[in-house]
Structure 1
Amino acid sequence: MKELYQFRNLINELVKRDIKKKYRRSVLGYLWSMLNPLLMMLITAMVFSHLFRFDIPNYPLYLLTGQIIFTFYSEATNFAMGSILENGGLIKKVYVPKYLFPLSRVISSGVNVCFTLPAMVTIMLFTGAEFHFKLLFCVIPLLLLMLFSLGIGLLLAAFAVYFRDIFHLYGVLLTVLNYATPIFYPTKIIPLEYQGIVLYNPLTYFLQAFRDIVYGNVFPSGEQLFVCTCLAFGSLLVGGYAFSKKQNNFVLYV
């Protein structure tokens, strides 16, 4: 914590650089953070509402809550994975705690999520969803997901330095996770023999906790929050340990 405080200005600059880089030479700039989830939600909602006809009330909001969670995780871990390689020149020149690079990428993804929340409010207004005080607690699953993503990001960043194939393999894994997470379909349609795929998917628990608050107007159960907390800190411990073991040799491979 002392080191984080000492390098707080560097973290701030790295986060601002990542956000500016994402929207560089873009006419609409930061508005794309709100427009992207809205446009994806509209396209997906039209396809699944009319072709598959899932019997889900307020399907646009149901869909958007899933897309916010998955997009956050996907973006945060993808950005963190390449953070060491992209900052190899700086790592070779000066001493900087190397974990700051994946950390700044995850934080910048968290900032982007904050930009998407107005899109969620817009859909809630448009569909007549109920606004309630429980909405304030939706930050809890988001913060836990941020810790989980940081742990995965540290793990990926460490191994990506040595094995560049992990970029391609992780892209395939994200595609699998996209279909194994109940983003656009209800879990009740999954055949019994395949329900384990969803239950053993960690993103399912973060998504369900977030969806319970925003879409279901209920607090997540204590058991659900406990699982999310264990996944978050377990991921952080494993990722942090692997990163600390590998970081001394990064300079030889970047």
Structure 2
Amino acid sequence: MMNYIKNFLRYKGLLREFITRDLKIKYRRSILGYLWSLLNPLLMMVVLVAVFSNIFRFDIPNFPVYLLSGQIIFSFFAEATSLSMNSILDAGSLIKKVYIPKYIFPVSRVLSSFVSLLFSLVAILIVMIVTDAPITPVVLFFPLPLLYILLFSIGMGLIMSVLAVYFRDIIHLYTVLLSAWMYLTPIFYPINAVPDYVKSVISANPMYYFVEAFRDIVVYNQLPNFQTNLVCFTFSAISILLGLFVFYKNQHKFVLYI
């Protein structure tokens, strides 16, 4: 384990360069640049609030903040894992030429998406101010659920990057899976609006707990309870440990498939 940590610290400068590169590529030739990290969730929130507030009429206090908080967390996870899934394939020519720790490629994709997530948090603050939502000292604990979802996304990103090397079809199937996953996460509807058999499925969904932990802090002005923290920590720990195990077991065979 210490060797892995030393290796990570040795290449942290390269990891930082890859993160910077990914962000530059993402906003290349964009006039507004990083402002899109703020505008994208705001514009999507306006559309969804108009639809779900007026047509479906879910009775959720401060629905804009409720919606945006769930939307930002899930969007980060979807983007981070989708980008990391292609990371090894995209770096194939570089991997064949020089030695670089291969985990850097998927991890840098997740971390660059995390930087965009941090910019998106400004959108939540703006909506909270506009809608006159209460802002209490509890909001200072927002990094806790973000840490959970970051670790979970890194683990999932490592796994998806391995699967994509061996099974290219997973790149297309994952888009469909993310759509189903999104609808099974209470982002724009309350969990009490679904039947009991659907609730049992949602209760096995890790994203439900990450979203709820974040909402507890920014929407309900309370710390996530012990059970929510325990579930989030467990899912994050399993994801990162399983991701590292799968990645290190397979990384030496990447050059045969890329």
Name the TM tier (shorter chain). over 0.9
Corresponding residue number in structure 2 for 1:104 = 108
Question: In the alignment, which residue of structure 2 is the partner of 1:171?
Answer: 175
Unaligned runs of 5+ in 2: none
Q: 2:251 aligned with 1:208, yes or no? A: no
Secondary structure in 2 matching 1:21: helix
One of 209, 219, 225 as aligned partner of 2:223: 219
Q: CA RMSD in A?
A: 0.6
Q: CA deviation at 1:138?
A: 1.0
What one-letter code is carried by the residue in structure 2 that aligns with 1:22?
Answer: K
**TM-score (norm. length: structure 1):** 0.99
Task: Establish whether residue 13 from structure 1 lines up as the match of residue 34 from structure 2.
Answer: no
**Residue in 2 that maps onto 1:92:** 96
Alignment-derived partner of residue 231 in structure 1: 235
Residue 54 of structure 1 aligns with which residue?
58
The 1-side partners of 2:27 and 2:157 are apart by 22
What do residues 141-184 of structure 1 show as CA deviations (whole Å, max 9, x unaligned)?
11110100111110010110111000111111100011000000
- Structure 2 CA distance for aligned equivalents of residues 237 and 163 of structure 1: 22
Deviations 1:1-28, CA, capped at 9 Å, x for gaps: 2111100110010000000000000011
Residue 142 of structure 1 pairs with residue 146 of structure 2? yes
- In 1, the alpha carbon distance for the partners of 2:80 and 2:202 equals 21
Q: Deviations over 1:225-247 (max 9, x none)?
A: 01100100101111111111110
Deviation at 1:126, TM superposition (A): 0.2
Query: Which residue pairs with 1:157 in the alignment?
Result: 161
Q: Which runs of 4+ in 1 moved over 4 A?
A: none
Structure 2 residue 195 is matched with structure 1 residue 191: yes
Other structure's SS at 2:31 match: coil
Equivalenced residues, count: 254
SS at match of 1:233: helix
Secondary structure of 1:54 counterpart:
coil
- Provide the rounded CA distance (Å) in 1 between the counterparts of 2:38 and 2:50: 19
Partners of 2:180 and 2:225 lie apart in 1 by 27
Measure how far apart 1:223 and its partner are.
1.1
Deviation at 1:252, TM superposition (A): 1.4
How far did 1:136 drift? 1.2
Q: How far did 1:129 drift?
A: 0.7
Q: How far apart in 2 are the matches of 1:47 and 1:208?
A: 22
Residue 85 (structure 2) pairs with residue 81 (structure 1): yes
TM-score w.r.t. length of structure 2? 0.97
